[in-house]
Amino acid sequence: MRVTVVGSGYVGTTLAACLADAGHDVTAVDIDPDVVAAINDGRAAIHEPGLDDLLAEHAGDRLRATTEYDGVPDADVTFLAIGTPSNEDGSIDLGGLTAAAEMTGEALAGAGNGSSAGDGSGTSPDDRHLVVVKSTITPPGVERVREAFFEGAGDAADGVELATNPEFLREGTAVDDFRHPDKVVFGTDSEWATERLEALYEPLLAATDADAPVIRTDPETAVMIKYANNAFLASKISLANDLGNVCKRFGIDAYEVMDAVGLDDRIGAQFLRSGVGWGGSCFPKDVDAIRAAAREAGYEPALLDAAVAVNDGQPERMLELLDAHADVSGERVAVLGLAFKPGTDDVRNSRAIPVIEGLQARGADVVGYDPVATENIRERFPEVEYADSAAAALDGATAALVVTDWDEFAALDDAFDAMAGAATEGPVVIDGRRVIERREGLTYEGLTW
C-alpha cells in the first residue's frame, strides 16, 4: 500500500520505518527540515535502537521524507502521529494535531478529490482514502480532529473516513514493541476501514510472527483503551508507592511485600517497584488529559486524582528522608540520575526536576550526573554543576540522592568512600530506586524499604 505518515517523532518514524520494512511504500512528512533530512539520509533524528538500521535500508527506496503534504492524495492511508501535549490546566492540547489534520484535508482538496490518484501500477486496494489518528487523543478529541480534517478537505472529504489506531510502544524499545505488540487496536466506523487497516498490518505482523490480538471497535472506544491502559499502569505504580510509604512507616521492606503480592495472577509482577515515582512524556500528560476530559464531562475521577497526588508527593518524601539525616544548606549534594528512566536521554517530567528544586530550596550545592541526559537537563538547570561520572559527583558530597535506576549505580561501592558525609552520620545516601547495593559505612535510606 501507499502510506503517508504525518509527524516523524518517536512514534511516526518508527511507524514509517516498520511499514516500509513490511513492504509498503511510505512517505514520512514533518514540518522540521532537519528531521526530514535525517530520514532521507537513512538515520533517525531521535535515539531508538534498531531504527537507524531500518532507515538506512529503506530510505530512498520504499521510504522517503518531505516537509510537504503533496504525497497525501496518492496514498491509500494517511497516519497522523503528531504530539498531543498538555495545556496549562492539564487538558489535551490538540493544536498541532488539528493543524496537521486540516493540512491533510487541504492536500486532498488541492488534488481535486479525496480519492487515490494512483500511479497506474494497479496496487491500490481501491480509490478511497483512510485517515488514521495514531496520536493519543481523548474521546471528545476524535470529533475535533475529524472536524479539522473535514474543514480542510471540504468536498474532497467525500468517501474519506477517519479512524483511530492508538500506539502502545515504549521509548527505548520502540521498534521491537511496534513489531511485537501485546495488542493492536483499530477504531473505525466501517467494515471497509477495518479491512484496510487489517491489510496494512497483515504483512507487518506476519513478518515478525507477532501473534497479537486485534481489537476492532469504534474510534472513541479505541482511544479510551489507550488512556485506560496508561492510567492503569500509572495508578498501579502509585498504589505500589502508597503501600510502600505505609511499609516504610512500619519498618517493612516494600519490595519483599510486593514480590509476594505480584505472584497473584490477578495482579501480576510488573509495575510494583515502588520509589520516587513516574515521569516521562506519556504517563503524566495522559493521566492529566483523561482527568481533565472526565471533569469537563462532569465526572470527578477520584482514584486518578489520588494516583497523581501520590506521585507528586514521592520526591518530597525523598527530601524529608534527607532532612532527617542532614542539614544540606551550603553542602554539596549529588543527584545520581537525571533521565526519567534508564535507557533514555528524555528528561520530560523526570523526578530529578522536583528533587533538584527541593535541594535548591534547602540551599544545597547540587551536583548532577547522568550517563546520557545531562545536556537535556542543563537547559532547565543551567546553574547546576554536572559531573562526568557518578564517582566525580559523589566526591566531597555530604549526601547523594538516587533518582534513576541506571545499572551502573549498582556497582559504585568504593566511590562512596570519597564522600565528605554529614557531621554526625557520615555519607548519607537516599535511594529512590533501590539500585544501590552497598550499605556498610553509609547512612542509607530506601524510599519505601
Inter-CA distances, 28 with 66, 110, 294, Å: 6, 19, 34
Segment contacting ligand NAD by CB under 6 A, of 49-57, 81-89, 179-187, 267-275 = 81-89
Handedness of CA 362, 363, 365, 369 (dihedral sign): positive
* 3-state class (DSSP) for residue 216: strand
Q: Which three cell numbers stand for residue 10?
A: 518517536
Among 96, 203, 313, 426, binds ligand NAD (CB under 6 A): 96
x-marked contacts with ligand NAD along 31-70 as a string, rule CB under 6 A: xx--x-----------------------------------
Beta-strand runs (E) in 30-178: 63-66, 77-80, 130-133, 161-164
Please identify, using beta-carbon distances, which residue of 46 and 261 lies nearer to ligand NAD: 46
Min dist. Cβ of residue 306 to ligand NAD (A) = 23
Residue 30 in contact with ligand NAD, rule: CB under 6 A: yes
Please list the active-site residues: 282
Element (H, E) at 18: helix 10-21
Residue 184 · residue 137 · CB < 8 Å: no
Render 117-152 in DSSP notation, one character per residue.
Answer: ---SSS--S-S--EEEE-S---HHHHHHHHHHHHHH
Identify the helix (H) or strand (E) that includes residue 37.
helix 33-40
Beta pairing, strands 77-80 & 2-6 = parallel
Indicate the residue among 340 and 449 with the shorter CB distance to ligand NAD. 340
Furthest-apart CA atoms within the chain: distance in Å:
81
Helices 219-249 & 139-153 angle (0-180, nearest 10): 140
Q: In angstroms, what is the minimal distance from the CB of 256 to ligand NAD?
A: 32
Among 164-172, 198-206, 238-246, 391-399, which window interacts with ligand NAD (CB under 6 A)? 164-172
CA angle centred on 196, ends 190 and 201, rounded to 5°: 130
Nearest to ligand NAD of 170, 378 (CB atom): 170
Q: Which of residues 268-287 bind ligand NAD (CB under 6 A)?
A: 281-282
Strand 130-133's sheet: what is its strand order? 63-66, 25-29, 2-6, 77-80, 130-133, 161-164, 184-187, 214-217
Whichever of 170 and 438 has its CB closer to ligand NAD, that residue is: 170
Total of residues contacting ligand NAD (CB under 6 A): 28
Which residues within the stretch 125-144 sit at the binding site for ligand NAD (CB under 6 A)?
Answer: 135-136
Report the residue from 100, 328, 401, 422 that binds ligand NAD according to the rule CB under 6 A: 100
Q: How far is the CB of 18 from ligand NAD (least distance, A)?
A: 13
- Nearest residue (CB) to ligand NAD, 92 versus 366: 92
Instruction: Give the residue with the Cβ less far from ligand NAD, 275 or 280.
Output: 280
Site stretch for ligand NAD (CB under 6 A), options 163-171, 195-203, 252-260, 297-305: 163-171
Residues that bind ligand NAD (CB under 6 A): 6-12, 29-32, 35, 81-84, 96, 99-100, 103, 135-136, 167, 169-171, 281-282
